[in-house]
Structures are given as structure tokens and as C-alpha cells.
Amino acid sequence: MSVSTTISLAKFLTKLKNLLKDFLSQDQILDQEIDRFLYETDATSLFKNQAAMVLLPNNTNEVAKIIQAINIINLEIKEFKQENIFKPEAKNLSTINFVARGAGTGLSGGAIGKESSVIISLARLNKLISYDAFNRTAVVETGLVNAHLSAHTKSQKLHFSPDPSSQEACTIGGNIAENAGGIHCYKHGLTSDQVLGLEIVTAQGQIEYLGEFHAGFKNSRLDLARFFVGSEGTFGIATKALVKLQPIPESFITMQISFDSIAEATKFISAVIKAAFRPTALELIDSGAIEAVKAAYQLNLAPKTKAIVLLELDGNNSEIVEEAKLIREEILINFQILDLKTTQDQNERKFLWKVRKGTVAAFGQIAPFWYLYDAVVPRSKIPEAMREIEKISDKYKLKLATVAHAADGNLHPNFLYDPDKDPEVIERIHQASHEIMQLCIQLGGVLSGEHGIGLEKKEYMTFMFSSQELELMYSIRKIFDPDVISNPDKIFPIRICKEC
């Protein structure tokens, strides 16, 4: 942006701020250097960019009024551009856009703005409005933290089932934007399976309602609420949601199984799924991740362990005891294992899970930064994918540690890096990521399991979708947001945005 354009933009942002001051208090408008710095990124370490200001509305009406104010200023910007069409200060001036933000725990850059962006934080829309234990639904403001909803409904033995690793911090609105999954989503479904209805504020600042407000069923036409889930903020801002609550399983059994190779571990995983068991978690941890956790904690792992499978069953106690017995006696018996630990005790369970849930903290002892990637292949291709990802990682001289939601074919390779010691490493990570995406698509996989497209993967959309399909998607996006001011620059490759 040229200096004169920057000055024009600043002038209109000041006008916007003046409009906002009519209904927002001082503490709801953050536009100091430090504020913009604090909101410049999400949990993706590779993307950052500062927005013009950060707003903290208290309720849906304030969200609507903020977006109406942006639309008013954008009209002025358009007039200014028409009147000054040949002047440098108008030529590249863009309209003002907005980016909704929950807790900023996203992993694809979805909540990152730019100089013409207003970040709308939903942090204060954090109320549980009501819940209905019998019909198993809750109405929430979307800034409510995922785990807080479950804490409220725990006494009724109900919970909100999507459980991304960030669930203690991330908001339900963020889960809706990204269609979040989690360790238990193979059995219990993604966020899109749990959303029945939405209150949204459109890109024009109107409050609208999508979906069907009924407990067990939604099958009228068309399912806009479910379709909104996973739109990453490009359809407007969801401010309230009617979500399903699921029964908290009565009991669990956790099995930690050690193998001397990834190949043997993935064969075991295949056998479990083939036999139609439905574990609630089926996690795979590779040698790179094992090395990291071994260095960080006392875990009592068998020597020569090169792969670990964590298998968890949940449900009625006598049922899962029987199921665990069958898995041991009919499946596990056919595999070479180094060790098996089984527990139904909560403390031991936490200890067994340490090898998975402690990975990120353990990475910190190896390198100051880590980049977590989201890759998906058909289950049958996991062994091949793991082998090839290792080759790609070696080719780019990267330190690799992989964990996987194996039942879904959802792999999370992690690259541990230190840009101070190795200044070109970030470029090499981008190149490796590019190759991993190509590999996944080649193997019949998809672009994302649970982290979304955001900034991170938008240029890869063409790997998977035809230009016709991308144009269809973009046309639908424009039905919701004709001026493309609701989280622009996300999901769609730049070429498509320009053409449509």
C-alpha cells in the first residue's frame, strides 16, 4: 500500500472509530500498538499480520451495529474512490473488512486480519443461555469456551462432544467456524454433527436465524446451519448457537500398546477397524514424538518402542470390559507387541495419555518453535503416508514428530524448528507442507481433517477442487457476503477470488 493510500485508509478508520464510540465504551475499542500486536496471530506460528483495531462487543446487537458502521464507512470509501479515481490515494484503497475471533487458538490463520481489518472478538459473548437436559440441547453465545459448556452440564451427565486439544480455551464459535474435531470425533462426530441452529449477523449487519430448533432431528430444507459450520467466518458471524449435548460415557478403558515399528502399529489399527470395533480414541504416536516425550518425562516405556497406539473405549462398563477382552483375545494376539498397559483408573489414564498429550510441551525441550500440520489420507494409506512424510522431512532437513488420529486417517506431522539457528527453516517447512499436501491428495486424502483452510492452505484448494466447484463455493459465499468483507482472503485461492 502506498503512503497516500495508507493515509486515506487511516482517515476512514478514524471516521469508523467515531461512529463506534456512539455505542461502544473506551474499553471495547482496542487500537494501540500493543493491542494490535496481541491479536496479530493465532496458534499457527508461521502467519502473522496486524489489524487496524480490535473490538469487544458485549452482545449480538453490538456486533450488528459494528458491522452496520463498517458498511456505512465502506459506502463513503466507495464514493471517495469514484470521485478520485485517478488519484494515488484512492486507487488501491480497499474497503474495511472484519474478522471474527474466538480465543485465537486456530491452526490455519483463520482469525488473522490485515491493515484494513477490524477484529471482532466474541470473548464477551460467553453466556450459556439455557439448556434442556431431556431433549439434550443447549443455547449458547458463541464466545462461550468449549469446556465451560460441558462443565455447566456435567451434573446432568451431558457434554458438548467436540474436543479439540484446545478445548479448555477455544470457543464454540471457533469450533463452528473451523468445524472442529478432536480425539473423540471418530466415534462422536465433528462440530457440524452437533449444531442444530444459529443466530448470525450477516455481512450487511442484519441479525438472522438459520436452521431448525429441534432436539433430535433436522431434516427440513436446506440445511443452512450445518452448511454455515466450517465456513470460517466468510458467511458472517455466528453469535448464538443451538447445539446438541451428548451423554457423557459412563465408563472408559484406556490401552497403551507399544510396537517396534510403525508398520506393525498401523496394521493393528487396521485390524481393529476392520473388525468393526468403534473405539472412542485410536491414536498413533511415532518414534519422533516418543523420543521427545521420553526426554521430557519418566514414562516407563518398553525399550526399542518405535510406535505407540492409544486405544480408548467408552460406554457402558460391562460392555466395554467385554469389548476390551475381545480386542485383546481376538486381535492383539496376532500382533507382535513390546508392551500393553490397560487401565480404568482416572490417574493412570492421565499417565498413559501423557505420551500423547504431553508431546507439545515436550517439543519445547527440543526446539523453541513447532509447526503442527493437518493431513488426511484414507486409513489404508496411513503406512505409506507416514513413510513418505518421513522422506519429505528428510529431504528438507526438518526435525519431524508425528501423532495421528489414526481411525480417521488424520495425521499431524510436527516440525520442530529454531529460526535463530536456521534462518531458512521456515521456507523449507512451507516447501515440505506443499509436498505433503500433494502426497495426501495423490493418496486419495483431503486438505484438512480439523484445522481448516484459512490462510494456510487456501492455495492448495486447487489440488482438490475443480475450478467449477470453487466457483460454485465462491458464488455461494457471495450470496452471504456480496462485498466480500466478512473474513476476506481466507479459504479461496487468490485466482478464484479475482475471477468470480
Nearer to a second copy, 315 or 368 (CB): 315
Nearer to a second copy, 39 or 480 (CB): 480
Nearer to a second copy, 37 or 213 (CB): 213
Centre a 10 Å sphere on the Cβ of residue 421 and count the other Cβ atoms it contains.
Answer: 9
Q: Roughly what angle, to the nearest 10 degrees, separates helices 60-83 and 3-21?
A: 140
The letter for the amino acid at 63 is V
Residue 213: phi, psi to the nearest 5?
A: -95, 65
CB of 10 to a second copy, least distance (A): 33
Determine contact, residues 282/407, Cβ cutoff 8 Å.
yes
CB of 82 to a second copy, least distance (A): 27
Nearer to a second copy, 47 or 465 (CB): 465
Rounded Cα gap, residues 458 and 476, in angstroms: 17
CB of 430 to a second copy, least distance (A): 19
CB of 409 to a second copy, least distance (A): 5
Determine contact, residues 242/144, Cβ cutoff 8 Å.
no
Nearest-10 Cα torsion for 246, 147, 278, 400: 160
Nearer to a second copy, 293 or 375 (CB): 375
CB of 24 to a second copy, least distance (A): 26
Determine contact, residues 454/67, Cβ cutoff 8 Å.
no
Residues recorded for the chain: 500
CB of 79 to a second copy, least distance (A): 27
Nearer to a second copy, 18 or 462 (CB): 462
Determine contact, residues 454/232, Cβ cutoff 8 Å.
yes
Nearer to a second copy, 55 or 67 (CB): 67
Nearer to a second copy, 181 or 488 (CB): 181
Rounded Cα gap, residues 65 and 477, in angstroms: 22
Nearer to a second copy, 170 or 290 (CB): 170
CB of 71 to a second copy, least distance (A): 16
Nearer to a second copy, 105 or 204 (CB): 204
CB of 248 to a second copy, least distance (A): 8
Residue position matching grid coordinates 518398553: 302
Rounded Cα gap, residues 73 and 8, in angstroms: 12
Residue position matching grid coordinates 478508520: 13
| DSSP per residue, 209-271 | EEE---SS---SS--HHHHHTTSTTBTBEEEEEEEE-EEPPSEEEEEEEEES-HHHHHHHHHH
CB of 207 to a second copy, least distance (A): 9
Is 372 strand, coil or helix? Answer: strand
CB of 394 to a second copy, least distance (A): 26
Determine contact, residues 88/2, Cβ cutoff 8 Å.
yes
Nearer to a second copy, 206 or 365 (CB): 206
**375-390 burial string, b = 16+ CB within 10 Å, else e?**
bbbebebbbebbebbb
CA atoms within 13 A on the CB side of 101: 27
Q: Smallest Cα–Cα separation from 266: which of 448, 365, 404?
A: 404
CB of 222 to a second copy, least distance (A): 5
According to DSSP, residue 496 is labeled H
Rounded Cα gap, residues 172 and 143, in angstroms: 6
